[in-house]
Amino acid sequence: MKKFYLALFFSTLLLSACTEETSTDIIKTEDIQAIVASTKEAAEKHDVSQFEEYALQEIIDGDTIRVKYNGSSEKVRFLLVDTPETNHETLGEQPYGPEAKEFVKGLLAGQDTVYLEFDVSYRDKYKRLLAYVYTKEGISVQEQLLKNGLARVAYIYDPNTKHADWFKSIQKTAQVSAAGIWSVEDYVTNRGYDKEVYFAATKDESGTENDESNTTNPNNSCVIKGNINSKGNKIYHMPGQRDYENTVAEEMFCTEEEAEAAGFIPATR
């Protein structure tokens, strides 16, 4: 396994994953506060004068917030990035998910509004708004998540690709420095995050079994089956559907979004 080459606060975050949550909350909070403070001081300030300002209502997780948009409360999904999960119905909590959420909360602390930069298409299939998010000072939230190793570049779909090259270059730097999610080889995959790999690496580095790896529910694994039928059609099957048990999977997916991103369509029954 790849060795950890983290800055001090990332080293602490990794080590804290091996202890009980009740004893690591303060450590995690202090580390994130340090990262946020450094970010606010050093981050590039972008010109947001051409973007729209909206009332900030809630930080949902590391890549989703809620704003007041045209009189309605709306979810905003951060374009072109993906952070680990914090409370997914299938995947549960993934390493660096809570840290990503706390980072966004810290970056937006004290701000009652955010600036949104839209691309070509304003919404995804779930009717969520899609946007690049900035603080009042012009700090790009996506840029800083990527720079600090708290998100990966993902879900690059035409026509919303305006900042894809920019984000990829930031991610490459984070990968080279093994920041955050990149500190464990193969934790980040093209389908998301593999926490079993993360916990195995944590065990290898510390010589002790991670508590969460002992209690991981097998139901938290990726269970959506992607199959290519005799006609060449890519179909994905959900647990509970009629043909699920008899379906031979060419690929497994954690979410329907991932399956569809790979070109698969849902089974009709």
Residues involved in catalysis: 77, 85, 128
Residue 165 corresponds to which tokens in the numbers above? Answer: 């090259």
Residue 161 corresponds to which tokens in the numbers above? Answer: 């690709």
* CA triple 62-68-71, angle to 5 deg: 155
In the block, which residue shows the tokens 């004893």?
A: 23
CA distance 163 to 77: 15
Closest CA to 113 of 68, 145, 63: 68
Contact 36, 107 (CB under 8 A): yes
